[in-house]
Amino acid sequence: MLARASLGPSVSAVSRRSLSMLTMAHEPPGLPASSPAASPFPTATVSALPNGMTVATTSSSVASSTISLTYPHGSSSGAPGAAAAFKHMALRSSDQGSSLAQLRKVEDTGCAVFKSVDRTSITTGVTGSPDAILECLPLLGTKTLHWEPWDVRDAINAAGLDAANAATDPASSLEDQIFAAAYGEKTGMGRSMYGKAGEADLKHFHSLLSASGAVLTATNVDHKEFLSLLQGAGDSKGAAAAADKYTGGESRIAAISSSAHVALAFPADPALASAMTALLSLTATSPLTSFRTGPLVGIAGSADAGTADVMCGALADAVTGALKADADMLKRALAKAKAADAFAYSGSSQDVAAALTSAVLGGGAVGEAGVIEAAGKVTADGLKKAMAAAVAQGASVASVGEIGKVSYKGDFKF
């Protein structure tokens, strides 16, 4: 049998031992703090160049960097389909070299190219490591294109494939129709994103683009260094995009389908568009969803053809609920919008660049810190008045699919 002494000190001895310990207020110097101070929200820096271009930069939480160049001209400018095809002229043969040479340069730097177009803007950008991204900056301009026949042919064919894919997507079709209802199908904003554009149409669209009004954004770069690379970049020639008037009409497209897709939309105050979208999301019942697209906010849903009338009633109820929202729901909407807008600056570097560009073009608060500060100035009463003002301008109603039981615009009561 083992002796008691071999088991170590007794419990009573341990209880009498004085332990040496440091409190949280007496941490050894040179060691990481156990309770680090909260990091400040990243701020955005914005500069206006003499040629009319706006340059905006900010930091982000991801390791990659993104540079994007956006012109305030989209499918509503130029001939039908011109913008959709011109999107594919990015990094084509120009004063920067052949298409192959430019793509090889991007590949050598380990960067990736992205491009997009909507009704009011067209964007080309690159994403890569911060130490390599600046090498691709000269490739984003479209000052001198060589218009090689194969480049034009490929761009037009690529736009045709985009149009074919959009035609089979109910969401894309519904978006086209809600803009047709809101602005009229013959206007720039109301017509389809796609169309048969030729080389002359692409050249005319190209002539509309200039440094004046353009937005160049970059993430995770030094602002002063970035500006130093832009000396003499671009000219200030170009035409301003025309603004179409909101009319608030209706567009119905019948198609052989087992479902009906319906959307209601209203013109939004840019400063309150996110909050209005959030408010509609709170008053909507599943599976309805609120949305924001361009200058419009709204609510949409899909249902079996036989229950489309029930869905239309739910859409109307959601709008009515937003108009009659109490103080608690309005505050919840403001909090939700604030979180969503701030969260946009916590995503990928492309997401951050897109949020920054959208804020500059829309004249809103830029950067995560700016968004949070601006959100604190919006009141529940201001949101309620903005929602009422939007609905007072009339709803735009769009429906696609088997629409036999879909309510007409006059049947929607708020």
Report residue 164's pLDDT band, with 50, 70 and 90 as the boundaries. very high
Q: Does the pLDDT value for residue 162 go beyond 60? A: yes
- What pLDDT does 114 receive? 95
**Is residue 178 classed exposed, middle or buried when 0-12, 13-18 and 19+ CB atoms within 10 A define those classes?**
buried
Contact 398, 291 (CB under 8 A): no
Alpha-carbon gap, residue 122 to 261, rounded angstroms: 28
In one-letter notation, the amino acid at residue 317 is D
Alpha-carbon gap, residue 387 to 393, rounded angstroms: 10
Contact 358, 74 (CB under 8 A): no
Q: Which CATH superfamily is domain 250-411 in?
A: Metalloenzyme, LuxS/M16 peptidase-like (3.30.830.10)
Task: Report DSSP state, residue 145.
Answer: B
Q: Does the pLDDT value for residue 84 go beyond 90? A: yes
- What pLDDT does 31 receive? 53
Inter-CA distances, 164 with 169, 170, 172, 212, Å: 9, 12, 11, 33
276 φ, ψ to 5°?
Answer: -65, -40
Report residue 232's pLDDT band, with 50, 70 and 90 as the boundaries. low
Q: Does the pLDDT value for residue 88 go beyond 60? A: yes
- What pLDDT does 363 receive? 85
Contact 387, 282 (CB under 8 A): no
- What pLDDT does 347 receive? 86
3-state SS, residue 179: helix
Report residue 365's pLDDT band, with 50, 70 and 90 as the boundaries. confident
Inter-CA distances, 73 with 36, 57, 78, 318, Å: 46, 22, 9, 33
Name the residue with higher pLDDT: 43 or 36. Answer: 43
- Here the tokens at position 286 are 């599943």
2-15 residue pLDDT tens: 343 333 444 444 44
- What pLDDT does 15 receive? 44
44-228 shares its CATH topology with 250-411: yes
Question: What CATH code is assigned to 44-228?
Answer: 3.30.830.10
295-336 residue pLDDT tens: 999 999 999 999 999 999 999 999 999 999 999 999 999 999
Mean of per-residue pLDDT scores for the chain: 88
* Long-range contacts (CB closer than 8 Å, 24 or more residues apart) made by 390-393: 390/266, 390/267, 390/268, 390/269, 390/276, 390/297, 391/266, 391/319, 391/323, 393/246, 393/248, 393/266, 393/267
Kindly calculate the radius of gyration of the chain based on its CA atoms and give it in whole angstroms.
27
Contact 345, 355 (CB under 8 A): yes
178-218 residue pLDDT tens: 999 999 999 999 999 999 999 999 999 999 998 889 999 99
- What pLDDT does 369 receive? 87
Of the candidates 279, 278, 259, 294, the residue with the CA atom closest to the CA atom of residue 170: 259
- What pLDDT does 96 receive? 85
- What pLDDT does 112 receive? 94
* Bridge pairing between strands 289-293 and 296-304: antiparallel
- Here the tokens at position 217 are 């954004």
Domain-wise residue ranges, the chain: 44-228, 250-411
